[in-house]
Structure 1
Amino acid sequence: MINRVLIRLKIVQIIYAYYQNGGKNLDTAEKELFFSLSKAYDLYNYLLLLMVEVTKQANKKLNAAKNKLIPTKEELFPNTKFVENRFIAQLEVNKQLLDFAGNQKKTWENEADFVKSLCEQIMESDIYKEYMASETSSYEEDREVWRKIYKKIIFNNAELDQVLEDQSLYWNDDKEIVDTFVLKTIKRFEEKNGAKQELLPEFKDDEDQDFARRLFRRAILNSDYYRHLISENTKNWDLDRVAFMDVIIMQIALAEVLSFPNIPVSVSLNEYVEIAKLYSTPKSGGFINGTLDGIVNQLKKENKLTKN
Structure 2
Amino acid sequence: MSLLNITNDGLPNILVALHGTVLRAAKPILETELLEAVAPPALIEDEGQMARNTLNRWVELGLFMREEGLISVKDRLPSRHSSMLEVLPFTRRMACRQALAEENNQDLWASQGARAADLTRSLAWMLAQDIYRASFDQFEKQESQQILDPERLLMRNSTRRSGLQFWAPFLGFSRHPFAAIDPTVAVRDALTEVLAPGDSMPAPQFVERLSAVLPVLDGGRWQREVLEYVDPLALPLRQPGQVSTALSRALLNLWEGGELLLQSKADLGSSITLTGAGGARSDLTFQWITRPVRGDKE
Q: Tell me the TM-score normalised to structure 2 length.
A: 0.28
Higher-helix-fraction structure: 1
Higher-strand-fraction structure: 2
Query: Which has the higher relative contact order, 1 or 2, with Cα contacts under 8 A spaced 6 or more apart?
Result: 1
Q: Tell me the TM-score normalised to structure 1 length.
A: 0.28
